Structure 1
Amino acid sequence: MSSDEESPISQAVYDQLATSYDDITTSAVREQYEWPAVQSLLPSLDGIHVLDAACGNGFYTERIVECGATAVGVDASPEMLSHAQERFADDDRVEVNQADLTDGLPCLEDDAFDLVLCQLALEHIEAWEAVFAGFNRILMPGGQVVVSTSHPVRDYIEAEYPVREQILAEEASYPEIEQVDRDWGDEDSECVVPFYRRPLAGMFDPALNNGFVVEQVVEPVVTDAFSEATPKFATVLRDGPPLFICVRYLKPR
């Protein structure tokens, strides 16, 4: 991405978070809530080639190759990538590149990957058509895409009804794709992260329009480990809509 091109909307904040990002990836909501749902959708990773799309600092890329895969990690944040490059400096199983998912991934070859893994990144992108066009191009026939992203139902409820202070919205229109930012900061400083909420169809149409079929949908459930780590939050999620939705798409042969 050249310096005169417009940066992805969330790049600056992820550059800011890069130094402490392991605190997020190792949090209970990721490790005991989101990751088990994602893991249930993954094929056997032994011997396959995986694109970790929006790899961040490489935390989950490392987990992928530990299961026997080779991997390429791409991310729009140069600060995140510097941490990923340091993580894999002596590991020839992993290649790391800077890339904006909406640019079609020109740094990657056609039909080169068995699997694309994209965790909690698409909610920062307004239009998904170009993203799935790129995924289709770089995947082999029979390849799969596993995505986790914000759940449309919870996103709408939290934007329309102010139940969490960090959701920066006054109202929502369910059929629309709308920017609804979130403040991940604390009492001393704000950290506003750009997000987009969308209807359920907005999750599936961009993939279907680019030749994918939907194989499976998983909504995370409250695990015992998550409940022990964050009992109050677990109670909210046990009775209400989940934070995330996870989908496996297939590129037919």
Structure 2
Amino acid sequence: MKARYDEVAAEYDRWVGEGSALADPTFTELTGEVDGQEVCVVACGQGREARYLSGRGAVVTGVDLSERLIELARSHEESQQLGITYLTGDAQTLDGLADASFDGVVCHLALMDIPELDATLRSMARVVRPDGWFVVSITHPCFKTPATGEITDHVDKSIRRTVGRYFVEGYWDGPGRHRDALPVGAYHRTLSTYVNALADAGLVIDRMLEPKLDTPIWREVPCLLYVRGHRVT
């Protein structure tokens, strides 16, 4: 299967920062203490989150469908040897990874790019140990829908987010502004679809966070949604 990110891998790597460190306090808070733990990073891209977790003492395996992004991740590993294992693989199956082989599994800002949500979450649940933990993050499904925009209030001049087509699930074209560095489409699902899919996969939510970003629009409503939980035994 050809990955969409193969075509933009170099641009994406430059946009992310060519081996740069992760600067995401919400991700840091939810992943917590990982020293000595075995962690799988699903849809790891060029390895930014994998490098972060490895730097905090985790034994990390990164998996991504894009051969080009995995090549870039391995090149970063050569420059900064952290002991990370990178594998080319499909998040929807995680073939080649043994059942219950990780203490934790993360998927950072990628679930909305993957066609089969249920299969991906079942695969993540399969590879994590009973009562092991997971952290996932997505663009917020309530405020980044297939029909969104901004308007300026005529009185106080504040910027408001408009939302439409929330209940229209499926692939849509153009979720972000960085179209030179990202594929232009994603898969929209309702919040309840995500929550129910986690439950169906045996992944129980322990905590959800919606960070406020320091931009005129995203001070008013959340741009991102983060979830931490555990696999039921």
TM tier, shorter chain? 0.7 to 0.9
Aligned pair 1:176/2:136, yes or no? no
**Partner letter of residue 202 of structure 1?**
T
- Equivalent position SS for 1:132: helix
Q: Give 1:36-47 correspondences, 5 Å limit.
A: 36-47=25-36
Cα deviations across residues 24-43 of structure 1 (Å, max 9, x unaligned)? 3359xx966xx221211113
Please, which moves more after superposition, 174-183 or 76-85?
Answer: 174-183
For 1:127, the equivalent position in structure 2 comes to 116
Q: Which moved more, 1:82-91 or 1:71-80?
A: 82-91
Q: Structure 1's 92 and 131: CA in aligned 2 closer, same or farther, altered over 3 A?
A: same
Unaligned segments of structure 2, at least 5 residues: 152-162
Instruction: Tell me which of 10, 13, 20 is aligned to 1:19.
Output: 10
2:219 partner SS: helix
Counterpart CA distance in 1 for 2:181 and 2:232 is: 44
Q: CA 1:237–1:47 in structure 2 vs 1: closer, same or farther (change >3 Å)? A: same
1:83 aligns with 2:63: no
TM-score after normalising by structure 1: 0.77
2:141 corresponds, among 137, 152, 163, to 152
* TM-score normalised by L of structure 2: 0.84
Q: How does 1:216-231 map to 2 (within 5 A)?
A: 216-222=207-213, 227=214
Q: Which is richer in strand?
A: 2
8 Å CA contact 2:8, 2:181 repeated in 1: no
Which position in structure 1 is the counterpart of 2:100? 111
| Counterpart residue identity of residue 160, structure 1 | A
Distance 1:91 1:216, change over 3 A: same
Aligned to 2:217: 236
- Equivalent residue for 1:168? none
Shift of 1:214: 0.6
Q: Does 1:212 align with 2:203?
A: yes
- Matched letter for residue 55 of structure 2: E
Structure-2 change in CA distance of 1:242 and 1:26 (3 Å): farther
SS of 1:93's equivalent in the other structure is: coil
Instruction: Report how far residue 206 of structure 1 moved.
Output: 1.1
Indicate the SS of the match to 2:144: helix
Identity of aligned residues (%): 26
Higher helix fraction (1 or 2): 1
